[in-house]
């Protein structure tokens, strides 16, 4: 099994979540490649069993432009995309918290719930990341 974790991170919070996702996948025996959105060279999405997209939310619930460009690079809507993201409830409240995650999940019609992390995944939120990855893998096995 192979997974790609594609993410964009300015503050480092989304990168931290991507690293936790990678750790969990690796422990489950899945080969993982990382793709820094807007920086790394294009890849073939069809060569992965799982595609994880990580983003932050900014400017009143907007998805970063780099992620929008990444969606165009993929060029189609794979059915194996799981979405995670970081946000901050103090800027926009619960209505806008990790809104980019919701937008990407809806666009890709993701089978999995989106993972939303308040700022950094450190502390109790690390367990939340691990549980989410377990849920993605468990759900995928039920359809295999």
pLDDT of residue 90: 82
Decide which of 95 and 140 is more confident. Answer: 95
Using one digit for the tens of pLDDT, what is the confidence trace for 58-114? Answer: 888 899 999 999 999 998 999 999 999 999 888 777 889 999 999 999 999 999 999
What confidence tier does 1 reach under pLDDT thresholds 50, 70, 90?
very high
Length, in residues, of the chain: 144
Q: Which two tokens stand for residue 10?
A: 């300015």
> Is the model's pLDDT at 142 over the cut of 70?
no
- The CATH code of domain 2-142 reads 3.40.50.360
Q: pTM of the predicted model, to two decimals?
A: 0.93
Highest mean pLDDT among 27-36, 38-47, 68-77: 27-36
pLDDT of residue 94: 82
> Is the model's pLDDT at 143 over the cut of 60?
no
Burial 4-27 (b: 16+ CB within 10 A, else e): bbbbbbeeebbbbbbbbbbebbee
Render the chain in DSSP notation, one character per residue.
Answer: -EEEEEE--SSSHHHHHHHHHHHHHHHTT-EEEEEETTTSPP--GGG-SEEEEEEE-BTTTBPPHHHHHHHHHH-S--S-EEEEEEE-TTTTHHHHTTHHHHHHHHHHT-SSPPEEEES---TTHHHHHHHHHHHHHHHHHHT-
What percent of the chain clears pLDDT 70, i.e. is strictly above it? 97
Q: Are 112 and 78 in contact (CB under 8 A)?
A: no
pLDDT of residue 139: 77
Rounded CA separation 81/136 (Å): 10
User: What is the overall mean pLDDT for the chain?
Assistant: 93
């Amino acid at each position: 099994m192979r997974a790609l974790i594609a993410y964009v991170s300015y503050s480092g919070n989304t990168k931290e979540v991507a690293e936790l996702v990678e750790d969990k996948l690796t422990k489950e025996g899945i080969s993982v490649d990382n793709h820094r959105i807007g920086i790394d060279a294009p890849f073939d999405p069809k060569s992965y069993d799982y595609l994880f997209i990580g983003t932050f939310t900014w400017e009143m619930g907007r998805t970063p432009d780099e992620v929008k460009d990444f969606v165009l690079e993929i060029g189609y809507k794979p059915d194996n995309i799981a979405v995670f993201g970081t946000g901050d409830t103090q800027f926009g409240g619960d209505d806008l918290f990790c809104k980019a995650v919701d937008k990407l999940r809806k666009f890709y019609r993701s089978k999995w719930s989106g993972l939303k992390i308040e700022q950094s995944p450190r502390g109790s939120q690390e367990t939340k990341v691990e549980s989410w990855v377990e849920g993605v893998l468990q759900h995928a096995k039920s359809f295999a």
